[in-house]
Amino acid sequence: MIRFQSTYRYASVLLGIVCPALAVAAEGPQRVKLTTADGVEIVARYEVGPKGRKSPTVLILNGIGENRRPAVCDAIAAELKRQGCATLCFDFRGFGASTIVNEQFWDDATNRKLVRGYRANAASERITFADFKPGYSRRMVNDVAAARAFLDRRNDASECNSGHLLVLGLREGASIGAMWVTTEWSRYRETGGFNARLAANPEGRDILGCIWIDPVTAYDRQHVPLLECIKRASNKHTTFVATLHATDNDSLIKLSRQCSEALNKKTSRVFVSKPMERGQNTSIVDNGSLVSVGKRLIFDFVLGLDAGAR
């Protein structure tokens, strides 16, 4: 696989500084299907980067709780496309259009144990989130891994640069994304053809930045180790991490303080947090408020991130 590392500042791409020089996008959003390692068909929205293999790539992970990904995710994707990025967002397994599974799904012991619908010789070909038993949510990391694999293939087709990846997660999607990024720091590509060997650097080095919006610290009756995940993502100060959260979220305020103390040094600032006012009884990602207010903050978060710093 060929990866193309950009030499200009990533912040300038998101803020539109280089946009006047971009060619007009060749295509609109495409509906694509991805297959996970354990046999789930994930339905996604993908847009080719306006500058092909030089386009930075944004993977958007929505919150979980509605029957499909909220419209706000598609709105963010459309705006980022206008700012010069390739984008991908999708319905997590069991939600929206991502309900079809193949026989490989039920070959997996964890799926048989934690998803209702398995019967010998008559296993269901569809699943919904209502079928999931407590403790199953961490399997959704496989959905993110399938999205990354898809973007790597699109990189090889010169449609985007998956070696210049930003991950944007909302609510539960942010927490699942943080766990997935942790696994990328333990995954190595095979190189060398017949003389195969592992690459020198883990795949996590391709993730230049993560923005976690109102991440949850507990989900599916389980604690989400966000502090450990964020520290791992910023391993060797190569991945910039930002959080956007409500001003009244005490757990995230505490998390932000701990991350800042652990990660930010005098000569290197890799973590930043931004509190955001919450409407009465309203999540900061509800009712499109993220698009109208938080979008500008998302772009501001990446100021100072130098894509060529490695």
In terms of pTM, does the model score above 0.75?
Answer: yes
In a domain, 1, yes or no: no
In a domain, 310, yes or no: no
In a domain, 110, yes or no: no
Residue 11 has pLDDT above 50, yes or no: no
Q: Give the mean pLDDT of 237-256.
A: 80
pLDDT at 238: 67
> Six-digit token pair at 123?
């296993």
Banded model confidence at residue 248, pLDDT cuts 50, 70, 90: confident
- Spacing of C-alpha 63 from chain mean position: 11
Q: Is 292 left (phi over 0), alpha (psi -120 to 50) or beta?
A: alpha
Residue 308 has pLDDT above 60, yes or no: no
Residue 61 has pLDDT above 90, yes or no: yes
CA–CA gap between residue 175 and residue 219 (Å, rounded): 9
Query: Which CATH number belongs to the domain containing residue 57 in this structure?
Result: 3.40.50.1820
pLDDT at 108: 95
Number of domains present in the structure of the chain: 1
Residue 21 has pLDDT above 50, yes or no: no
Residue 299 has pLDDT above 70, yes or no: no
In a domain, 133, yes or no: no
Cβ neighbours for 42, distance < 8 A, ≥ 6 positions apart:
33, 34, 35, 36, 90, 91, 92, 93, 98, 143, 146, 147
CA–CA gap between residue 126 and residue 211 (Å, rounded): 32
pLDDT digits (tens, 9 = 90+) for 100-159: 999 999 999 999 999 999 988 888 999 999 999 999 999 999 999 999 999 999 999 999
Banded model confidence at residue 25, pLDDT cuts 50, 70, 90: very low
In a domain, 3, yes or no: no
Banded model confidence at residue 38, pLDDT cuts 50, 70, 90: very high
Residue 22 has pLDDT above 60, yes or no: no
**CB atoms near residue 278 (< 10 Å):** 17
Q: What is the dihedral of CA 75, 287, 301, 229, to 10 degrees?
A: -100
In a domain, 306, yes or no: no
Residue 213 has pLDDT above 70, yes or no: yes
Q: Provide the pairing of β-strand 41-47 with 30-35.
A: antiparallel
Q: Is 288 left (phi over 0), alpha (psi -120 to 50) or beta?
A: left
In a domain, 31, yes or no: yes
Question: What is the rounded average pLDDT for all residues in the chain?
Answer: 78
Residue 200 has pLDDT above 80, yes or no: no
Q: Residue 208's domain spans which residues?
A: 10-96+138-301
Residue 226 has pLDDT above 60, yes or no: yes
pLDDT at 15: 29
In a domain, 123, yes or no: no
pLDDT at 6: 32
